Amino acid sequence: MKKLLIIFVLLNLVGLGWLFPKEKANQEKTPKLHHQITVTATRIKTPSRETGASIIILTKEELLQTGEPLLIKALQKTAVVSIIQSGPPGTATSLFLRGSNSEHTLVMIDGVEVNDPISPARSFDLAHLLTQNIERVEILPGPQSTLYGSDALGGVINIITSPGEGSPHLDLSAQIGSWKTNQIHLASAGQWRRLAFSFSLTHFQDEGISAASTAYPGNKEKDGYANLSLSSRLDFTFSPTNKLTLFCRAMKTRTEIDNFGGPYGDDPNNLQKNHHLIARLQWQHFLLASRWEQLLAVNLVVNHRKNNNPSDDLHPDHSEQAYFKSWFLKLDWQHNLYFHPQNTLTFGLDYKKELGLSDYTALSPWGKTISIFPQQQARSWGFYLQDFLRLPPYFFCQVGFRWDHYLHFGSVLTYRLTPTVFWPATQTQLKLSLGSAFKAPSLYQLYAPPSFFGPIGNENLQPEKSRAWEIGLHQYLFKDKTHVGLTFFSQDYENLIQFDFLRGFINTGRARSQGWSIAIKTHLFHHLQLNCNYTHLRARDHQTSQSLLRRPAARLNLGVSYNLKEKLTASLWLNYYGSRWDTDYAHWPPRRVALSAFKLINLHFGYNFWSSCQIFLRLDNLLNEQYELIKGYGTYGFSIYLGIKSKISL
């Protein structure tokens, strides 16, 4: 009853706008919902209404409303995404997009593919990305290899840096809070003649909690985290037909971790350090009276990860040292032909090269273990083609295919079809998407050296593949002030790479992910906005007929945002995770266990003293819910954060 009372009071606080005089409220027009522009869905700027693919967009304003400094926390506000983490900020993170494996989601930053070539399955750890200087995040579930090649087996997440706009200005912010959290942010952006610039520098740090949950014996030591991130974007317009753009993002992190989750998993000096560099140089050129657009880009990603775990009083006979290095280079030449207003043809060529190496040494009472992964590389060439047909306002369709060639397994052909039909009289839209995708074996899966027990790497591996369909019905109501979308989806995976203790990595797995989702967004009142999204998921392993681990069957997000005269802003979020299966390694043999469902309620307040200065308050996990994302690992209880931010014109 006490919890229900707290929820009731908070809902009424957010809804105070209804208590203001009706006469004044009626004088102000209720804003319409914006029809967002996507780049990821088609590789060109496209209104989301004009594509049959599902697309979820988190705008800069929505990221600010959450008040979250870490991007993974903001992504949890979308029900198509489930995120797990092995402890406090900075620890290893996995993302499941509509139930797909973490490595089956291609993560891009400003169009640069950032999945790590030296990680075992070539995934990307989102734990270190901060929300500062992000213009928007585009989430595209389902197979997307037709436009983006390998790794887009289950979907794409594209994180886009804020461009420089308007007169030059300086942004400053700072916050402190629970777990000795502190963050300082400095940014500058604007336009000067032909140059548009955006620059951001952020330092985030907290003391953390024990990564191995304190609910189990032997886990008392806190695991802290520090992150220094730099991002920049420069756009130089030489002429109306020529523009050069440089993106750059660098991260330096320090994470304290534990040996494992569960009883006595604590380790007082297990440390991981990461260095990441992400860069893109792009030239945009228009020909034939701007009917032929060319985008020539060079992408570079460098990753360096180091683990150091010397012996200590709790583990006098154990120590570990390891380092992992990888490089990724991509050349992309994209062409867009706008020869007719009702048809756009997009095609291009790309070349990818990746390298990786690692070294691991461990000491234990059983002796010394050394595992050296010498530098290996993979190269590929790809050609993609997409035709975009427009018959406004009734019909839009994208159809495309892609051909990729890899030196170690040959060629792959993928396709995608995304038609959509719109009825203006009823403001109803029907969306359909069909497609296929693949994922090439990682360097580790191909070339990992054998162990004492047998082989690990397998140079005869073939790519993983998937096929999927989805159908969606969207309704716009109350003069575009409300949007309701219902989507059914199904995706089959085959040739999945799994590890066999006798044969190493082999192509043997099959799985299916299917379900439905509903999203409601309404702006019926001038000061009040409601966001609700729910996903029901059934993800199963075809071989065992068991549910895939750590995927909740039900995910719900409910958000209420309130804005009074640009002075007071408040947002209340309910985040619900349904029950899911995990593995308990504290027992031998390991066994499947069910993790309980849980709900998190977060509240964010902002108050503008002046147009250029705001203080904000964030309350996380208001009900102090005790829960686990991964069996044996800790999560935060009730937390409070206070901050201030200011904008200064230059």
Tell me which DSSP letter residue 200 carries: E
The angle subtended at Cα 362 by Cα 356 and Cα 368, nearest 5°, is 120
Whole-number pLDDT of residue 314: 86
Instruction: Give me the residues paired with residue 601 across strands.
Output: 574
pLDDT above 70 covers a percentage of the chain that reads: 95
**Three-class DSSP labels, 138-157:** EEEECCCHHHHCCCCCCEEE
Identify the CA nearest to 375 among candidates 326, 328, 330.
Answer: 326
Read off the tokens for 215: 């609910």
Whether the pLDDT of residue 360 is over 70: the answer is yes
Say what the pTM is.
0.92
Tell me which DSSP letter residue 460 carries: T
In a domain, 90, yes or no: yes
> Which range among 20-24, 124-128, 401-405 shows the weakest confidence by mean pLDDT?
20-24
In a domain, 319, yes or no: no
How far apart are alpha carbons 148 and 642 in whole angstroms?
40
Going from the C-alpha of 249 to that of each of 108, 231, 530, the distances in angstroms are 12, 4, 34
> Which range among 21-25, 47-51, 124-128, 217-221 shows the weakest confidence by mean pLDDT?
21-25
Assign 65 a pLDDT band (cuts: 50, 70, 90): confident
In a domain, 224, yes or no: no
Whole-number pLDDT of residue 12: 38
Read off the tokens for 105: 């989601």
Assign 454 a pLDDT band (cuts: 50, 70, 90): confident
For residue 631, the enclosing domain spans 2-219+235-259+279-312+324-649
For residue range 175-195, list pLDDT tens digits in order: 999 999 999 999 999 999 999
In a domain, 451, yes or no: yes
How far apart are alpha carbons 526 and 17 in whole angstroms?
9
Whole-number pLDDT of residue 565: 75
For residue range 341-350, list pLDDT tens digits in order: 999 999 999 9
The total number of structural domains in the chain stands at: 1
How far apart are alpha carbons 434 and 472 in whole angstroms?
12
Whole-number pLDDT of residue 17: 34
Q: Is there a contact between 466 and 155 (Cβ–Cβ < 8 Å)?
A: no
In a domain, 487, yes or no: yes
Whether the pLDDT of residue 21 is over 70: the answer is no
Q: Strand locations in 407-548, DSSP E?
A: 410-423, 428-439, 464-477, 482-500, 504-522, 528-541
In a domain, 12, yes or no: yes
Q: Residue 104 maps to which CATH number?
A: 2.40.170.20
Name the helix (H) or strand (E) containing 377.
strand 367-391
Going from the C-alpha of 501 to that of each of 451, 454, 483, 496, 577, the distances in angstroms are 10, 7, 51, 16, 33
Identify the CA nearest to 559 among candidates 593, 532, 524, 541.
Answer: 532
Read off the tokens for 434: 């069909």
Read off the tokens for 293: 């657009």
Tell me which DSSP letter residue 440 carries: P
How far apart are alpha carbons 136 and 154 in whole angstroms?
20
As a whole number, mean pLDDT of residues 292-313 equals: 96
In a domain, 89, yes or no: yes
Whole-number pLDDT of residue 31: 57
For residue range 73-122, list pLDDT tens digits in order: 999 989 999 999 999 999 999 999 999 999 999 999 999 999 999 999 99
In a domain, 361, yes or no: yes
> Which range among 39-43, 335-339, 483-487, 530-534 shows the weakest confidence by mean pLDDT?
39-43
